[in-house]
């Protein structure tokens, strides 16, 4: 039994793929093809594992899945499906570039360059939370005393 994908569901994946879903996971006669959902669930569950590997260190608690993670899950699963097939599911440069970009985004999330909207409300993370990992300080202003007494 295949686990249920958590970042992008099979119906969401099929909707994003459009006609390509039949090509990648369609079974049956040409006029009566049916989508094999189990075939699509496996790469989505794999994408979940890859995403968790990058994201869970910064976002350890359950959260509302941001749209960016759905897109990343789509690109990873689509790449994985295309990589499995033969001539019929040939990899295009665009699919490879989308996969590479998804992996770059995951690295940016892990390093703190990209912050996720895990509350789903469009706000920034609360100060002191795991997601709010960056801080800074500046030395006191030295310029205010430089021109003191100048007329």
* Residue 104 to residue 98: CA distance in whole angstroms: 10
> Has residue 116 got a pLDDT over 80?
yes
| pLDDT tens sequence across 28-75 | 777 777 888 888 889 999 999 999 999 998 888 888 889 999 999 999
**pLDDT the model gives residue 122:** 58
**pLDDT the model gives residue 54:** 94
Stretch 73-90: mean pLDDT, rounded? 78
- Tell me the percentage of the chain whose pLDDT exceeds 70: 74
Contact assessment for residue 35 and residue 21, using Cβ atoms and an 8 Å cutoff: yes
Could you tell me the CA-to-CA distances from 100 to 66, 82, 112, 125 in Å, in that order?
A: 19, 14, 18, 27
Contact assessment for residue 37 and residue 10, using Cβ atoms and an 8 Å cutoff: yes
Helix residue spans in 18-142 (DSSP H) = 20-25, 37-55, 67-84, 93-111
Using alpha carbons, select from 77, 106, 90, 86 the residue that is nearest to residue 10.
77
Stretch 119-123: mean pLDDT, rounded? 63
> Has residue 128 got a pLDDT over 60?
no
- Tell me the percentage of the chain whose pLDDT exceeds 90: 32
């Amino acid at each position: 039994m295949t686990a249920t994908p958590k970042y992008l569901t099979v119906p969401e994946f099929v909707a994003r793929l459009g006609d390509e879903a039949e090509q990648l996971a369609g079974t049956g006669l040409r006029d009566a093809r049916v989508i094999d959902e189990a075939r699509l669930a496996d790469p989505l569950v794999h994408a979940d594992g890859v995403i968790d590997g990058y994201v869970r260190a910064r976002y350890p608690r359950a959260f509302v899945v941001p749209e960016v993670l759905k897109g990343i899950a789509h690109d990873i699963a689509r790449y994985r499906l295309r990589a499995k097939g033969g001539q019929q599911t040939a990899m295009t440069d665009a699919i490879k570039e989308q996969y590479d970009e998804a992996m770059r985004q995951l690295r940016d999330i892990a390093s703190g360059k990209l912050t996720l909207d895990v509350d789903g409300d469009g706000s920034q993370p609360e100060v002191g939370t795991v997601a709010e990992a960056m801080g800074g300080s500046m030395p006191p202003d030295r310029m205010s005393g430089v021109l003191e007494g100048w007329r």
